[in-house]
Structure 1
Amino acid sequence: MRRLFRVTLFLTFLLASCSPQPVRVAEPTSIPTPTAALVQHAPEIRFALIGEPRAEQINVWELFDESGATYADYALRAESWPRLYHLLPPESTFEPLAANGMPTEVTQENDFYVAAVQLRTDLKWTDGTSFTAEDVAFTVNTALSFELGYDWGVYYSRDYLHHAEAIDLATVKYYFKQKPNVGVWQYGALQGPIVQKAFWEKSVGDSASLLPADALRADIAKTQADLETVKADVAELSEQVLALILSGKQNRILDSDLKRKQNEQIFVQSNLDRFLEEYAANITSAQSALYNAEDEAEPVLGTWIPIGMQNGQWVNEVNPDFPFAQPNFDRAVYQILGSEEAAITAFKNGEVDFILSPNDLTVDMAGVKRSPTYSARFLVFNPLRSQFADPAFHSALSCMLDRNLLATDILQNRAAPFDAFILSPQWHEPAARDSCTGMDESARIEQAVKFMKDAGYFWASEPDMSSAGQGLRYSNGDPFPQITLITPSRDEDMLRYTAANYVAERAGYLGISLTVQEMSMAELVYAVYSSQKYDMAVAGWRLSEYPAYLCEMFGGQNLPLYNSGRFQSACDALRVESDLDRAQQGFREVETALMSELPFIPLFTVTQADLYQNIVYPSESVLSGWSGLYGAPAIAVPTP
């Protein structure tokens, strides 16, 4: 949503390629206070944290950038800084946190698109000073000027956000270079971490002296303009020379001018490369200085106050001001362990209450609870194979798939059923689901046959409860062709491989000859995105809370996956829609239409294991599990 869609989609395809998947760490979420009916209290909640955190060696600027962002460090420190809004679990409702009410509507003001947020006036940093709009604007502008990446870059996108300004102590105003959508605004800038200006202002100022000088920026801008001019000259001269060549003529003056301009283009490009290299080096130096800035005694403002290492364990103590929630524990204690085996031993010995791991737990023991994650798997059809493009065929095949059986029995709860295109309850249209969900075997077969017959297909022997179909043909009498379904090998992704064989079995009952072909993950990605030499594939993507991926996949610009412009106008509108309600309605309409067409067939999501004892949560299941929320110590409730 905030990066070039083709790059994003391709990378998420690769990230989803192996199973199990690590828990997503890019968007740590603050947690609400539990309901009064559940409230108990205990001195501490104890975690086994698998990993090698560097919490005492990295400051907030590095923590949320690529070099510092790890699951372990986020578990220890991500909730130490305030955010204006958060996603309230388990439904991921967009709610104010440090903000007072909802943001204003995005409007155009001169060359910018602007919106403002009112802040709560009761919040205090741990040094006793007030949280103000100056802190917000300072954080945003620092992230932009230092071109910070990873989470900083996602929250405060340089492609959209120009700067932020404190209008008064309780009002911050955001200025955008282009109209933001919900992904950039509500799910981006409004959920970014905020630091205290008073503490960081001097360190940031010192580091900023290493940023590229204005003269270098001017040189780059001028050279880029010169390059565009000379490129246009080269293109014009090339066209003239080519026209002469095609007419059998030659003009030595034109040839000489073209050669001269081509050499000029090489020279200008070389200068630009040199300037850009210097610019990148300056940015790197400034970022490095910022990452190394001292953060001892930094004031924070979160549910938990980091105390640091005590007796070999990391300790966070509850913020006595309870700025955002009132946890049921006085402190959260983290035992740092190097392996799952060590964590399981500590758990069995009663030393810890919850095992936190960046990866899915491999242990199979009583008490493990599994939740769906954002790692989703689909049946993908080659858009160039028109013989497999009929929505009736897709609907019939989808109807034959019992996703509950696949997830629970065949994949043994390592997967969760998925029969739609959106996971988040905030964005999913409840009515948009596979039409055969909940049917028994007899009803599935009957409905699948109806889909096919209504579209003109017929069989020599029609499938029913007693026997599979034989001799499937198109309405014109041509036999239905054999299909090859490509999938990662069983060694690379057992879940996808097993699901592919289940699909082949169910397709066979409809009289469809479907062969499963194993290949490496790299070969599968190449087949789907490059050569397009395949019929069907079991593909995987890591979906996001905000469903921008629907438009990345089906918005008319992703021909290797979907070569129809059906949703282009809707997606063009959603790309500039900053109203949350209208965006939700728009994506629900797209999802509903996709379920009627089924260009992909949703299969399942990979699940995430939670292993905890002595505590309970208001909801047993949440997307990515409670370990995806780092154990949610602010919402956990001790058992009596």
Structure 2
Amino acid sequence: MRKLFVFVSILVVLSVFAQTINWALLEEPKTLNPWNHYGPNATVWNSYVLGTWYGALYSYSDVRFDWIPSLAADLPKIEQEGNLWAYTVPLRKDVFWSDGTQFTADDVVWTMNTVMKLIKEYGLGGNWASMIDPDYFVKAEKIDDFTVKIYFTQPSLAKANFGALMAPILSKKYWEPKVEEALKTGAPLQTLYNYDNFDEPIIGPFKLVKWEKGAFVQQKARPDYFDKGSTLILYKNGAVEIKNPNTGFYWAGYGEPTGEKMLELVTGPYVEDIIYRIYLNRAAAITALINGDVSFVFNSLGLQKGEADQLAKASGVKVISNTTNGFRYMCFNMRRYPMSIKEFRQAIAALIDREFLCSRVLGGQAFPQYSVVPVGNAFWYNPKVPEITPGYGMSYGERRKLAIDLLKKAGFKWVVEPKIEGNNVVRQGRGLIAPNGQRIEQIELLAPGTGYDPMRATMALYIERWANEIGIPIKANLVDFNYIVQRVWDEPFNFDIYMLGWSLGYYPDHMADFFHSKRAGVGDFNAAGYNNPEFDKLADEFLAASDINKAKELGFKLQEILAEDLPYIVLFDTPIVEAYRVDQIVFPYEQTLSGLQYVGGVPALVKTAQ
């Protein structure tokens, strides 16, 4: 599953290093190169490993997800200068890269301006283009070594606060000569994507020491990590306090840091090495957890019921559950016929009974999802979306009749037309003919196999059967996760329909990232090729909004348009159920939105069990 990367605050404490801990991955990372990861190959498996390598000016606090300074020393000062809006950001003076170089304004200015250049002149896409959006970001300037001024066309929450100001910052000293060298080649972006960055200086607490492809990735704690001893305190009155007695850094915001504390974290790293062991099937990873070979399994989908039941009986293992901020979905390639026809997409949507699949077939382990904004993100979720969805609340027979009517409305015909009586398909459709007279041959639905996600595999087979009943020749092809990524983004767009999932950030600007027509290029996020001028206009207004209530109103409209046009059919998600060995490791907390997976297992906070 790909994901939009969200930075989590990295707060670290002076500690005595302990033993190595072993964690399990269910897929090989596609890349550990920042240009590639934040570009065309942003998979969750990469981010589990490199998630703490790069700092940002601002990030989210643990658990409560307050927007707080990270590499910045304070919140930005925002002023209008002529036609532009300037965000003046003071920087921390106690931050050092792993090569001993001090972090300064030069790193910030170089990173942002270079990303901007690569986007505008060479087509850099992915998360980079979401964060440093040329329609909003203008330039970054150095005021002095520890102050930057960042200019935007307007004071956008999505593109300033939750965009460029949360973008990863790279080392200018390391990357500047390599970017200059890449620009002299015939394929600058591919050169950067392929660059071996094993010796790259990083900001975070753990540094890569070995990647044995197909076996493991090993990271070692930095004994010189600048932020050892830092403490994060969240107060119940909403205030936040950050202090590092070793460097003297201090920040407090969102009220007076007094009264009852909700959470206090004083962090490490507490372990010397973290080894991410790669298991390419779930059963092997579960067995490794039971046997004590690993202490935690990274699986963005969470545990299936049978797995959770098995692990609940295992000695030394604890099972936990959290709500999620994501969804699993089908995407149509609207560059291809007949996926480009809205009624065709609506017909398939009408056939899919999410409630039946989630409650009866999947045994209540999953819950239906309809909107591209998950129910769990309650402020931004539009509750009207389900009733807009074709087939919602209908019976088996009614769904099929609606699907047939939608196809007829668009001009489809059959060699043998399907016939529905009550809730029975008395005559299966055959030989679907498109409005242009073309006989529709097999349509491939790429979906993860049972070894990776049995829920999506099962759902894909039901969708194949239901479509075939009325003569839509869909064939489910259950394949490896990385193969789907390759077909969709690397080849590119070599698919009819695919089924994957997203783990999301809290500000729902992913609606523009996934569906704005300007994001439909190679290596970018609009894999559907969706192009709706009305949607684009509203998405632009949403991204430009500086008032939270106006942004919410626009966000609701965007969800309604997508529920009608259906470039995606959002299907379902599950509570994230995880397990770890309490006799080997201690996490600082267990309850957090989207689970411990979402925060990468908080490697700078995790301890070994005593």
TM exceeding 0.5: yes
Matched residues in 2 for 1:630 and 1:563: separation? Answer: 34
Check if 1:486 corresponds to 2:432: no
Could you say which residue in structure 1 is the equivalent of 2:311? 366
* Structure 2 counterpart of 1:164: 140
Alpha-carbon distance in structure 1 between the residues aligned to 2:448 and 2:126: 32
TM superposition shift of 1:418: 2.4
| Aligned twin of 2:296 | 354
Does 2:292 align with 1:319?
no
AA of the residue aligned to 2:381: E
1:627 matched to 2:597? The reply is yes
Match of 1:116 in 2: 87
Q: Distance in 2 between matches of 1:151 and 1:387?
A: 23
Structure 2 residue 463 is the aligned partner of structure 1 residue 517? no
Q: Tell me which of 77, 83, 100 is aligned to 2:56.
A: 83
Shift of 1:426: 7.0
The answer to whether the 8 A contact 1:42-1:329 is kept is no
Deviations 1:531-553 (A, max 9, x none): 99x7xx45546575365554466
8 Å Cα contact 2:87-2:149 kept in structure 1: yes
Q: Percent identity?
A: 18
Secondary structure in 1 matching 2:231: coil
Cα deviation code 1:523-575 (max 9, x no counterpart): 9969x99899x7xx455465753655544665467697556544232134345
Q: Is the 8 A contact 1:45 1:329 kept in 2?
A: no
Q: Tell me which residue corresponds to 2:109.
A: 141
Evaluate the alpha carbon distance shift between residue 455 and residue 604 of structure 1 in structure 2; reply closer, same or farther with a 3 A threshold.
closer
Greater shift after overlay, 583-592 or 316-325?
316-325
| 2:12 aligned with 1:29 | no
Deviations 1:184-237 (A, max 9, x none): 423332113458xxxx88x56xx8678869xxxxxxxxxxxxxxxxxxxxxxxx
Q: What is aligned with 1:502? A: 462
Q: Contact 1:328 / 1:638 at 8 angstroms: preserved in 2? A: no
Query: Structure 1 residues 312-321 or 625-634, which shifts more?
Result: 312-321
Taking the aligned partners of 2:46 and 2:572, their CA distance within structure 1 comes to: 30
Residue type matched to 1:630 in 2? G
Please state which structure has a larger fraction of its residues in helix.
1
Contact 1:46 1:351 in 2 (8 A): no
- Spell out, residue by residue over 1:107-163, the C-alpha distance to the aligned partner (whole angstroms, 9 max, x if none): 4636xx332145487x84489xxx9xx955222223256668899955874856554
Q: Which has the higher strand share?
A: 2
Residue 595 in 1 paired to residue 563 in 2?
A: yes
Query: 3-state DSSP class of the match of 1:425?
Result: coil
Unaligned runs of 5+ in 2: 27-31, 119-123, 211-217, 233-241, 243-262, 313-318, 410-416, 430-434, 521-525
**Match in the other structure for 2:167:** 192
> C-alpha offsets along residues 328-365 of structure 1, whole Å, 9 cap, x if unaligned?
66543244254439976664355764234799889944
Structure 1's 555 and 350: CA in aligned 2 closer, same or farther, altered over 3 A?
Answer: closer
Is the 8 Å Cα contact of residues 485 and 500 (structure 1) preserved in structure 2? no
**Cα shift readout 1:258-311 (whole Å, capped 9, x = no counterpart):** xxxxxxxxxxxxxxxxx96469899989x9899858x6xx9x6x7x588999xx
TM-score (norm 2): 0.57
- Residues 1:622 and 1:405: Cα distance change in structure 2 (over 3 Å): farther
**Which residues in structure 2 correspond to 1:421-500 (within 5 Å)?**
421-423=372-374, 425=377, 428-435=380-387, 444=395, 464=422, 467=424, 486-488=443-445, 498-500=458-460
The change in CA–CA distance for 1:155 and 1:446 in structure 2 (over 3 A counts) is closer
- List runs of 5+ in structure 1 lacking aligned partners: 1-20, 34-40, 53-57, 214-274, 473-477
SS in 2 for 1:185: helix
For 2:573 and 2:220, how far apart are their aligned partners in 1? 33
1:332 partner letter: Y
Distance 1:436 1:137, change over 3 A: same
Change beyond 3 A, Cα 1:540–1:62: closer
| Deviation of the 1:379 alpha carbon | 6.4
C-alpha separation in 2, matches of 1:63 and 1:449: 43
Which has the greater radius of gyration?
Answer: 1
1:343-392 residue CA offsets vs partner (Å, 9 max, x unmatched) = 7666435576423479988994424668767563226496965997459x
- Partner SS state of residue 612, structure 1: strand
Compared CA separation, residues 339 and 359, structure 1 to 2 (3 A)? farther
Counterpart-to-counterpart distance in 1, 2:68 and 2:294: 32
Cα distance, 1:498 vs structure 2: 3.4
Aligned to 2:270, which of 332, 352, 370? 332
Structure 1 residue 611: Cα displacement = 2.9
Give RMSD over aligned pairs.
6.5
Distance in 1 separating the partners of 2:331 and 2:168 = 38
Letter paired with 1:376: R
Q: For residue 319 of structure 1, report the CA deviation from its aligned partner.
A: 2.4
By relative contact order (CA 8 Å, sep 6+), the higher-ranking structure is 1
